């Protein structure tokens, strides 16, 4: 029974945790402007009466529900954050002012790349083996068009990782469970990090500027979330290269190759 509850708890914890953080930040921003019960007008007085009648436990439950709704609205999937930073990475002119080493690190870090270097190596070796067997485009270093086709094919494959996860669930639930656990942990770390950065900025303005130093560990936490996302995606790459599941675009390419070969006249 506990195993069946865990996926639901993973879906609940991230929006609830960041909802509390954002709600606290909003209270610090507008709390001084909220009217007291004595100052409440005709529109707010019924809510104060309801809170007095329901009691603190009920209000705590209602506050938690509102925090969950707020967190669900503001939750940002870790994969979406990498997509945004990947778009920024492709617009390299935005980062020309950075030192060369820092710029190269940014282009290859978990901020822009959803796969670890080791996963890319395994993936490229797998593609090379397929090319040798005629099941993937064969490229030559001198053939720019083939190189571009290879790059586009690999980009399509990595873009299809969510579909790979769905296929993995059908064939190996244990491996999918590991993937789902890493994805949930990545979303939690990224979103708690971002919400805490917002809270730290508000506290630096409203309470004391020293709270701004809290942004440093929270930036690290968010980055660690992106690293965790890489671990989740590495599981999908492992499922592809071991041919436990077939990537959607590879299946499409194989079908196209088969149709092309069948259309060729027999010698």
Give exposure, 69-78, as e/b (b: 16+ Cβ within 10 Å): ebbeebbeeb
CA neighbor of 112 nearest in space, from 180, 152, 158, 176: 158
Which residues of the chain carry a pLDDT beneath 70? 1-8, 34-45, 47-48, 50, 84-112, 131, 133-158, 248-267
CA atoms within 13 A on the CB side of 92: 7
Block residue for tokens 């606290």: 24
The 10s digit of each residue's pLDDT in 47-98 is 667 677 777 788 888 888 999 999 999 999 888 887 766 544 454 555 556 5
The 10s digit of each residue's pLDDT in 172-185 is 989 998 999 999 99
Domains of the chain: which residue ranges? 10-74, 78-261
pTM over 0.85: no
Give exposure, 197-214, as e/b (b: 16+ Cβ within 10 Å): bbbbebbbeeeeeebeeb
């Amino acid at each position: 029974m506990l195993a069946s509850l865990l996926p639901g708890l993973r879906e609940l914890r991230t929006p609830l945790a960041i909802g509390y953080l954002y709600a606290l930040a909003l209270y610090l921003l507008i709390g001084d402007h909220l009217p007291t019960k004595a100052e409440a007008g005709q529109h707010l007085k019924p809510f104060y009466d309801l809170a007095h009648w329901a009691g603190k436990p009920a209000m705590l439950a209602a506050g938690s529900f509102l925090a969950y709704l707020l967190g669900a609205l503001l939750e940002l999937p870790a994969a979406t954050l990498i997509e945004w930073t990947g778009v920024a990475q492709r617009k390299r002119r935005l980062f020309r002012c950075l030192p060369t080493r820092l710029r190269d690190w940014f282009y290859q870090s978990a901020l822009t790349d959803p796969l670890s270097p080791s996963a890319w190596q395994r993936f490229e070796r797998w593609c090379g083996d397929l090319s040798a067997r005629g099941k993937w485009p064969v490229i030559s270093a001198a053939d720019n068009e083939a190189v571009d086709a290879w790059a586009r094919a690999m980009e399509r494959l990595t873009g299809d990782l969510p579909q790979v996860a769905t296929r993995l669930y059908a064939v190996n639930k244990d491996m999918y469970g590991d993937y789902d656990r890493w994805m949930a942990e990545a979303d939690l770390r990224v979103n708690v990090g971002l919400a805490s950065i917002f809270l730290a900025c508000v506290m630096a303005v409203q309470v004391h500027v020293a709270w701004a130093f809290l942004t440093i560990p929270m930036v690290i936490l968010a980055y660690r979330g992106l690293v965790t996302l890489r671990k989740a995606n590495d599981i999908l790459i492992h499922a592809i290269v071991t041919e436990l599941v077939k990537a959607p675009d590879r299946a499409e390419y194989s079908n196209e190759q088969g149709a092309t070969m069948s259309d060729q006249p027999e010698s």
